Every structure is written in C-alpha cells, then in structure tokens.
Amino acid sequence: MIKAIVTDIEGTTTSISFVKDVLFPYARAHIAEFIRQNQDDSEVKALLQNVRDTVVAQLTVDQIISQLIIWIDEDKKITALKALQGLIWEEGYCLGAFTGHIYADVIDNLRAWKASGIDLYVYSSGSVQAQKLLFGHTEQGDITALFSGYFDTHIGAKQDRAAYSNIAEQIVCSASNILFLSDIKGELDAARSAGFKTLWLVREGELDADAAHRQVRDFDQIGHLVIK
Ligand SMILES: CSCCC(=O)C(=O)COP(=O)(O)O
Ligand SMILES: [Mg+2]
C-alpha cells in the first residue's frame, strides 16, 4: 500500500528543457553580478566559504565565480551551487522572467493522490528554496500546499541509498510504503535498494519492456497503480 509519494522534478514533474534551457542559463548569466553584489550577505558568504572548502581555501571571489560557472556548465549537483542558483532564480521568478514548468498531467494527479490520503514529497538536487519557487510560480499558480515536505542534497545525494533511508526516517514512513518517481535509473536503483517502490518516468523516447523499473509515460499512467 502506498502511503507517500516522493517525486523528482527535472524529467519527472517538469521538462528537462525548462531546467537546462531556462533556469541554468539564467543562473549562469546572473551569477557574477549576484555574487559581487551580495558577497557580504551572511548566507552568500557562507556559501562562498563552502566553495572554498570544496576547492581551495585561497580562491578569490572572481575565481569562485569562474568555478561556479564551470559547475553550472557541467551540471554538477554541488549543494552550494544549488543554493546559489535558488537565490538567483528567486529574482527571475519575482521579475516574471519565467514561470515554473509543470507537465499537464501532473497537478490533477497530485491532487487526486493527496485527496486519497497519500502524502506528497519532493526530492530534487535543486535546493529546497528552488523547489518551492518552481512549485510556487507555475503557470497554474502556487501548488506548494500539495506537498508535505521537500528534500534536497542536504539529505544525501540522489544516487545514494542512504538519502532514501534518511527520507523514510524523516517522514516517519516505512520505505516499502513509499513510491519514488524519477526519470533517472541510478536514482531509482538507490531508492529501491533502500526499500522504496519505484516508477520510471520516460516522457520521451522508447519504452523498454525489460527495464529494471516499471516505466510510465506520465502521471496519468500512475493513478490506478497507487489509488486502490
Ligand atoms: C528545483 S528546480 C531546479 C532543478 C535542478 O537544479 C536540478 O539540478 C535538477 O535536479 P533533479 O534532481 O530535479 O533532476
Ligand atoms: Mg530527474
């Protein structure tokens, strides 16, 4: 019996293109100016220190900016980068530079699952702030109230089993009663190894009947599997 659903964002609720072609370029274009303007803010200062701790202690602000741009280009899931991206995207959402993309099949199904008593959670490499911004500024309005909690890489890396065990512990739910939705096999493997049920979102391309995880095209194909 499914008591909780944990969903990934990019490639699952939201198009990969929105993240790679809208969000990442916006952060890349604004990160230098953002850091120069906010380097004395305590939150930003701590994140810059975090980058120095990860790379080398003597990095100048300009060198940190260059390193962060390399990480953006390489799509690195580094917690300090993700936190900085969230801070930069806040400005973009507030200025109306973009709205959060959600596939058309997602919201009604989330509502139906919640109405049937299933608790909904988000787990993304994007920071919790970035997750709340995206779901708070969708074309269909603010849907953050649908979710009972949000997890980012502070709970662990998405391809590490421990992250899923930590999530199960935090939401006080047996892993076998939690369904994890993702488009990435490595994440699904890690979730399954922690005892989660899994479904693989394949929104584009061929389906594989022999895939290691049951594959679905969209959230409409999940409904009958979780609501009995
Ligand atoms: C929270 S929206 C931005 C998503 C993001 O930064 C990212 O790296 C995508 O990670 P996901 O775990 O959702 O595939
Ligand atoms: Mg994904």
Instruction: Give domain 18-95's CATH number out of 3.30.1360.40, 1.10.720.60, 1.10.150.80, 1.10.10.10.
Output: 1.10.720.60
CA distance 117 to 2: 10
CA distance 6 to 203: 18
- Determine whether the shortest distance from the Cβ of 12 to ligand 1 is under 6 A: no
CA distance 5 to 105: 16
DSSP string for residues in 132-201: HHHHHSBTTB--GGG-SEEE-GGG--TT-HHHHHHHHHHTT--GGGEEEEES-HHHHHHHHHTT-EEEEE
Q: How far is the CA of 15 from the centre of ligand 2 (A)?
A: 9
CA distance 36 to 65: 9
Strand order in the sheet with 149-151: 149-151, 119-123, 4-7, 178-182, 197-201, 215-216
| Overall size of the chain counted in residues | 228
Q: What is the mean pLDDT of the chain?
A: 97
0.90 exceeded by pTM: yes
Amino acid found at 178: I
CA distance 13 to 120: 13
Topology of domain 4-15+101-226, CATH: Rossmann fold (3.40.50)
* Closest ligand (CA of 72): 1
Ligand 1, atom 14, lies closest to the CA of 10
Question: Which pLDDT tens digit goes with each residue over 126-148?
Answer: 999 999 999 999 999 999 999 99
Asked if pLDDT for residue 189 goes beyond 70, the answer is yes
Question: Which pLDDT tens digit goes with each residue over 95-121?
Answer: 999 999 999 999 999 999 999 999 999
Domain boundaries, the chain: 4-15+101-226, 18-95
